[in-house]
Amino acid sequence: MNMDGYIVGGVIALIVLGIVAYYVVRFMKGRLRLDLGGKTLFRSNDRIEGDVTLEIKQATRGLLKISLVGFHEVPSGGASSGVSWEEFFREDEVPEEEKDFQPGFVKSYGIGLAVPTLSQVRVSQKADLGLGEIPLPRALEPILKMARAAASKRDRNRIRWKVEVRLDADGVDLFTSQRIRLDLTD
């Protein structure tokens, strides 16, 4: 084996060790558990309810944040036909302001995130059909509403939603998330 093989092997080993070290440090700091009661589908004007349990194993200072986050698919402009995901919506709830958490701290927090309506979530010009700013005769409003609903259903597979819970702490953050589906209407 030549010297290049040893270098490549060493780099791969360092990367793997770095990843393992990150998860060990995160585990030693504490744990977050998210429970939405098994429910994964929510409709506009519903509330996403559940519990978050925070367990601290090591003294840390941090801010607990629960978020409803929406991502939409963005085609990559390169030669490959891959896609990336871009955040377009975030609604935060802060049940615990920044404070010092002591080892052995365990507490459950209730979640009460509101599911937005379609008009509150503007996905893209395509989903909005570019007609949001043009004054239309009242007779065309039902047609526009149907067109927006069709665009929303067509784009549904290109939108991902999740509930994220993060203890934004000094050093390594504690983090968990769960994908959900939203059925948005006006």
pLDDT at 169 over 90: no
Report the chain's C-alpha Rg in angstroms.
22
What's the pLDDT score for residue 122?
62
Q: What is the mean pLDDT of residues 51-63?
A: 92
Residue 123: pLDDT band by 50, 70, 90 thresholds? very low
What's the pLDDT score for residue 125?
35
Residue 118: pLDDT band by 50, 70, 90 thresholds? confident
How does DSSP assign 56-119, residue by residue?
ESS-EEEEEEEEEEEEEEEE--SSS--EEEEEEEEEEEEEEEEEEE-TT-EEEEEEEEEPPPGG
**CATH value of 30-183 in 3.10.20.30, 3.20.20.150, 2.30.110.10, 2.60.40.640:** 2.60.40.640
Residue 88, CA atoms < 13 Å, CB-side half-sphere:
19
What's the pLDDT score for residue 152?
54
